[in-house]
Structure 1
Amino acid sequence: MTATTTTEDSTTPDASDASTFDVNEFLNRLDAVFASHSAATKAEPLLLDAMTDAENAGDFAGLLTVLNETMGFYRSQGRHQDNQWIIQRAIELALRLGLEGTEAWTTTLINAATSQRAAGNMEQAEDLYEQALASARTTLAPTDRRLAALHNNYSMLLSETDRPAKARAELEEALHILESSSPDPTHDVDIASTCTNLALLTLQNGSDGEQALSEARTLADRALAIYRDAHAEHSAHFASALAGAAQVSFAAGDAVAAVRDYERALAIIAECYGEHTEYYAVTAQNLAEARAALAAQGTPDSTRTPEGPQPSPAQPSAPHRHVEPAAHTAQMSGLQLARDYWLAYGKPMLAERYAEFAPRIAVGLVGHGSECYGFDDALSHDHDFGPRFCMWLTASDYARIGEQLQADYESLPAQFNGFARTGATPRAQGTGRRSGVFEIGEFFTSVTGYPTAPGEDEPHLWMMLDEATLAAATNGRVFADALGAFSKTRQSFKLMPDDVRLALVSKRLGMIAQAGQYNLPRMLQRGDGAAAWLCVSEFADAVSSLVFLINNPVTVGYAPYYKWRFAALRALSARAGMRLTGVCAQLEQVLRLASAACFGGAGFGEGGAGAAPNVREVQRIVGDICAQIVQTLQGLGLTPSDEDFLEWQRPYIEAHITSDAACLHSL
């Protein structure tokens, strides 16, 4: 059964008073929209108007409040792509206001992290949650309910990345905070939300089926009782409690109760959020499966009560807690397909046949292939695509079970969720295979040539690793790694020494200067369009690489190979708190104009303008990009110089390199 949604906690940072933008009035109007169950049509216009009003009034604290509310609304609607620029704008605004170390900063981090988690951007979300936890230690009291919200939401990420013990600890901490701070726990809907999340986590990860079901039922019933006693059954969040109770009933074989509660939940979701949201689609899918189970039991009428719970032929093996798409679509990502396939077949296989080794095996999808970068689409399905995942073992474990585990992996169904494994191209066979069982060191050797990343005292080895190779070694997602050996090795490739990174920054500045600032104008003056075109290509390659290096690979990853370079650059530019985010669109504009600039000639037919206007525009954009780079380097404290010819910035950058290794310094 598809995952039941769980309740996320949203918070709003304090905002200062403004004479022309009344924050309290805005919040009251927004509350009224949600209370009238008209958010699906009225919330977004109100939010967008409030953004404009706050910005026009110069009330940036008020604007931050609006942005945080918008994050929560877009998240509830499943509009994760639209939410990316809201997240970025909120974090940038909070930094500009100097809010680090304040409650408002903590709250913004919590909301941004939860939005990224809902969007499936797990690494970004975890980084933001960790920042929020660190900030909360100094900005929030131990009994602050926003701290409970943080622990509650962080637990969802931990559960979705297969760390159930840590997820449960976070939820129990949240429940402790709420119970100790609540004036009346029997009427506290935040406690109800946490109980629902605990129920689903218990259901998902309980080793003793009967005991887990009993505990999950107790928690789900407590959540429903709180909403009933608090007279809050009109609340939008009540739908989550109903859906959670329904999932517990379904797991117990009580399809009648599951259908009843899913129907009630779906009606509330439709009323509060609309029928075109991910939340609605997931719950509708779960309801359909519960109805199918009910029909199979011979009880087609959802109002008929059987003598006792009946075993359900469609009982799920392990319910998930996060929202997934209701059904397969052509747009389903390869990473999501891999994770679903692992949970459906791989995880049960390990539990049944390799229980001793299962906690030591890392699972995920990393390496070559567009789906490992998250850039796959329908066109990607013609080769090397399909339900697959990787399992990574230590050398000793691989020697003991690697061969048999590979055979068992190959015996898993070749078709899943509407997809079948496509034929592997020659490059994806043998040592280049992209899924199955690997020894950790051998896997990274096959990708990078090294079993683990070079040391900080081996800069010459780092300089031999191109960014595309490092991107392939550090992309994708890890679904499970309790031992941590694989993740530690993968992380070692992300931790490029700063001296190496600065040396590469210097090299990119040199190429940007030579290709874009020096040789491009000369080739255009000579009329050598082909050479000018190559100058544009080298310039775009160097600038795009520089953006990743400036933002630091440990945070944003590495620039992938040329095919996916701009897809990755667009994604980076949409992230919160990034530098040089405007460069991506400018580079694309340069590439669009390059044809006319390089080959336009004197005119495009009678009266045509020819290449001249495009040449001027290309050179203007190149100059603007270089000026932005200089400003960014100055902001990072890497240069005091205003020199706009980037070649002359290199000595200032290299002055920050502490190593005297010759490979790190230009001549």
Structure 2
Amino acid sequence: MPHDDFDTRKFLQSLDALFDRHAADGDIDGFLKDAMADAENAGDLAGLLTVLNEAMGFYRSRARHEENQWIVQRAIELALRLGLEGTEAWATTLINAATAMRAAGRYDQARDLYDQALDTAQRVYPTGDRRLAALHNNRSMLYSETGDSAAAAQELRTALAILESSSVDAGRDVDIAGTCTNLALVLAAAATAGSAQMDEAHDLAQRALDIYRQAGRQDSAHYASTLAGRAQVAFLEGDADGAVAYYERALEHIAATYGEDTDYYRTTAANLQTARQAAARASGADGTTAPAAGDDTAGEPATDSPSSAAEAAADGQTSVPGSAVPSHDAAPRPAAVPMTGMQLSRAYWLQVVRPMLAERYPGYLPRIAAGLVGHGSECYGFDDALSHDHDFGPRVCLWLTADDYAAVGERMQADYEALPRTFDVYGRSVSTPRAQETRRDGVFEIGAFFESVTGWPAAPPADQPAAWLMLDEATLAAATNGKVFADPLGAFSKARQSFKLMPDDVRLSLMSRRLGMLAQAGQYNLPRMLQRGDGAAAWLAVDEFVRAAASYVFLENGPATVGYVPYYKWLFAAWRQLSARLFAKLAEVCGQCERLLQVASAACFGGAGFGEGGRGSAPAVAEATSIVEGICGQVVDRLNADGLSSSTDDFLEWQRPYVEAHIQGGDPCLRSL
């Protein structure tokens, strides 16, 4: 491809041709990297995003997860730079990124990206759009892999309803067949033989096979997955002979379609052997003991071909997820080793709270969101043994819609309070006055919960920048931290995500303000206070500089991606975590600010003749001012790299007009005086 032009259509056609002729991975990899360079050299950023979306699928399918982190980060940054938030292209990019994170085992990041994708997709996809069903299928895989079979099943039921409502012939629709197989596997893995849930799994798995037969699509590559899924259900319901028969058919199909030298074939062959052993044991012909059904695996090959950017949202829609049947672990057993607060909350939810709700509120359980969000070190994931002395113990938040809360909220709260306050070896530690003033667990109406944290039931509208600017970043961090264990309706996650989607004008305005503080506190006042000998004032200047630097780095990396800087106690814990991310922007600044704080004591209070050798505080002063200028220089370089400034002036106050020139809104509060 010429470097002065980039043809997206030709790129996709050429990529499809490479896959069609089963080109070597190295050839595909080289083609993708060349295409990235060509699109970038041509200045075709939309074309570059298409290439990055394709690359995400390719690297994921080849389990090259570490390399894919860079692709994911770059794609999200580029989509934001192109102003695609809230569009179909943004939803597609988020889905691809989330699927890559899920495959890499980065489940928290995957969950957050899927939540953002669902929020966007529900607003921009037409009613009944099958891409929305594909998204719910993908979300179900995440829940399956993290042991939440109930949430996985709910996602698949939602996907199935969308597909059935949009299908012109549900009896021949292979997309419906794929979702039926996935749902059958989720239900069967969590059911007991002979139960109603197992019966439903049996019917769904059989329905999937019937659809392929009626559609005449037994030659489809996905048909093997349907056979393997039917075999897995048979095995789990105790029909070892049936499992053998279906696995044999699946294996024959895999050999013809993919070949025998594949992980797909080897996995299914191992499953067949397990089923044969179980069948032999049941007939008394073999004394061996078959492995537990939950150890069995079946599914599609790990090396599935990536879909095109337009089709990427459909990934997983017609296939058994992953290289194996999803693992549906039982609720965690009581811990033999210390648990974090989040682990304790999840276990308490699964083993104590959820069973109570299933018994007393069966009609509401599919509508209740649960998790741990808000105030408390465990919500940030920063708690340790020292955290157990106050406001610690088994607890969970339950979030209801306004109508549901009005109907059962107070009664459910009373039932929650009646639950055991001790779980495993953990009891409730003493509550601090602050925790007593604002309830941190129990039953909440969704809007009231966020209002108790932020003062707003949902994030302010984008056209109210003054309201956004009044929200403290630490407050926003508390509203968007933690984890959601279940959210069948998606209502809580949607409200939570709204606080992460800070309008870009507001983000730029805050970045400008932080630039002003970095310049004022670090570049101007720190050296002047040191020259005056006012160590206390210089110390405060260092503090202001470090806080502004932390805020700026979080804003630079984007709240939708990394969240917000929390309050001072956990500022550095969160900052170190952000800086450790692959391809984090300004990743070195955190360590440099830590060093600045180390030398600040000598710089501000050393005085003449301080320390061994009597050199005084001069070396510390020189190092502190050098660190400040070095950080400011990095900020300028980043501004230029992001296209937010064309100036190389290293005094950050003079960078503010360049940044504010990118603010689109006319509200005076967005700009400096």
Instruction: Pick the TM interval, shorter chain.
Output: 0.5 to 0.7
Alpha carbons 1:110, 1:150 under 8 Å: kept: yes
Tell me if structure 1 keeps the 8 A contact 2:508–2:659.
Answer: no
Q: Distance in 2 between matches of 1:408 and 1:305?
A: 43
Residue 89 (structure 1) aligns with: 74
The one-letter amino acid paired with 1:406 is: E
Contact 2:474-2:566 within 8 A present in 1 as well: yes
How far residue 216 of structure 1 moved from its aligned partner, in angstroms, is 2.6
Please report how far the alpha carbon of residue 331 of structure 1 lies from its aligned counterpart in structure 2 after TM superposition: 11
CA drift at 1:514: 1.3
The structure 2 residue matched to 1:622, chosen from 628, 631, 635, is: 631
2:205 maps to 217
Cα deviation digits, residues 365-396 of structure 1 (max 9, x gap): 11233442355689978986676422235255
CA contact 1:532–1:598 (8 Å) conserved in 2: no
1:10-409 maps to which residues of 2 (within 5 A)? Answer: 16=10, 27=19, 31=22, 67-68=52-53, 71-72=56-57, 75=60, 83-92=68-77, 108-118=93-103, 119-120=106-107, 121=109, 122-128=111-117, 152-153=137-138, 156=141, 162=151, 167-171=156-160, 173=162, 193-200=178-185, 208-209=196-197, 211-219=199-207, 221=209, 229-230=218-219, 244-245=229-230, 248-249=233-234, 251-254=236-239, 301=278, 303-305=280-282, 335=342, 338-339=345-346, 341-359=348-366, 361-374=368-381, 388-393=395-400, 394=405, 397-408=408-419
Q: Is the 8 A contact 2:8 2:50 kept in 1?
A: yes
Q: Is the 8 A contact 2:599 2:620 kept in 1?
A: yes
Render the CA deviation track for 1:607-652: whole Å, top value 9, x for unaligned: 9x9558845752442332442576599749xx99989542783799
Aligned ranges 1:394-433 → 2 under 5 Å:
394=405, 397-408=408-419, 410=421, 414-415=423-424, 420-421=425-426, 424-427=429-432, 430=436
- Are residue 561 (structure 1) and residue 550 (structure 2) matched? no
Q: Distance in 1 between matches of 2:82 and 2:436?
A: 55
Structure-1 separation of matches of 2:655 and 2:53: 42
Alpha-carbon distance in structure 1 between the residues aligned to 2:514 and 2:363: 49
Contact 2:56–2:100 under 8 Å retained in 1? yes
CA displacement 1:223-274 (0-9 Å, x = unmatched): 9989995395xx9x95x65774465346534478779999999x99x98569
Q: What SS does the corresponding residue of 1:304 show, helix, strand or coil?
A: helix
* Aligned residue number for residue 546 of structure 1: 552
The 1:221/1:134 distance shift into structure 2, 3 A limit, reads: same
1:519 equivalent in structure 2: 525
- C-alpha distance in 2, partners of 1:517/1:353? 62
Query: What is the aligned partner in structure 2 of residue 649 from structure 1?
Result: 656
Mapped to 2, the partners of 1:15 and 1:593 lie a distance apart of 51
Q: Structure 1 residues 98, 355: CA separation in 2 closer, same or farther (over 3 Å shift)?
A: closer
Q: 1:629 to 1:197 in 2, by over 3 A?
A: same
Change over 3 Å in CA distance of 1:72–1:429 after alignment to 2: same
Q: CA 1:498/1:255 → structure 2, altered by over 3 Å: closer, same or farther? A: same
Shift of 1:200: 3.4
Alignment of 1:655-666 (within 5 A): none
Structure 1 residues 478 and 442: alpha-carbon distance in aligned structure 2, compared to 1, 3 A threshold:
same
Residue-by-residue CA offset, 1:469-506 (whole Å, 9 max, x unaligned): 33212322334455777567656766778897677555
Query: Higher mean Cα deviation, 193-202 or 100-109?
Result: 100-109
**Structure 1 residues 158 and 599 mapped into 2: Cα distance closer, same or farther (>3 Å)?**
same
Q: Distance in 2 between matches of 1:465 and 1:59?
A: 37
**CA separation of 1:563/1:259 partners in 2, compared to 1, >3 Å: closer, same or farther?**
farther
Higher relative contact order (CA 8 A, sep 6+): 1
Alpha-carbon distance, 1:534 to partner: 4.7
The alpha carbon displacement at 1:339 in A equals 4.5
Match of 2:592 in 1: 589
Distance 1:216 1:200 in 2: 9
**Residue pairs, 1:494-505, within 5 angstroms:** 504-505=510-511
Aligned counterparts of 2:467 and 2:80: Cα–Cα separation in 1: 37
* Structure-2 separation of matches of 1:591 and 1:47: 43
Which residue identity lines up with residue 564 of structure 2 in the other structure? Answer: Y
What letter corresponds to residue 541 of structure 1 in structure 2?
A: R
Distance 1:50 1:467 in 2: 43
Alpha-carbon displacement from aligned partner over 1:373-426 (angstroms, at most 9, x marks no partner) = 355689978986676422235255333342123213648xx23xxxx5365353
Deviates more, 1:321-330 or 1:245-254: 321-330
Using a 3 Å threshold, how does the CA distance of structure 1 residues 405 and 619 change in structure 2: closer, same or farther? closer
1:155 and 1:94, CA in 2 relative to 1: closer, same or farther beyond 3 A? same
* Cα separation, partners in 2 of 1:620 and 1:500, compared to 1, 3 Å: closer
> Whole-Å Cα distance in 1 between the matches of residues 31 and 338 of structure 2?
34
Taking the aligned partners of 2:468 and 2:563, their CA distance within structure 1 comes to 15
How far is 1:351 from its partner?
1.9
DSSP 3-state at the match of 2:588: helix
Extract unaligned runs of 5+ from structure 1. Answer: 1-12, 34-42, 275-279
Identical-residue share of aligned pairs (%): 47
Paired amino acid for 2:398: M
Q: TM-score if structure 1 supplies the norm length?
A: 0.63
| Cα root mean square deviation, aligned | 6.5
- Flag structure 2 segments of 5+ consecutive residues without an equivalent: 1-6, 285-289, 298-319
The change in CA–CA distance for 1:501 and 1:90 in structure 2 (over 3 A counts) is closer
Q: Secondary structure at the match of 1:391?
A: strand
Give the distance between the partners of 1:650 and 1:383, measured in 2 at CA: 47
TM-score, scaled to structure 2: 0.63
Q: Alpha-carbon deviations, 1:180-236, whole Å to 9, x = none?
A: 79xx979x7x7764442242356589995365133233146569989995395xx9x
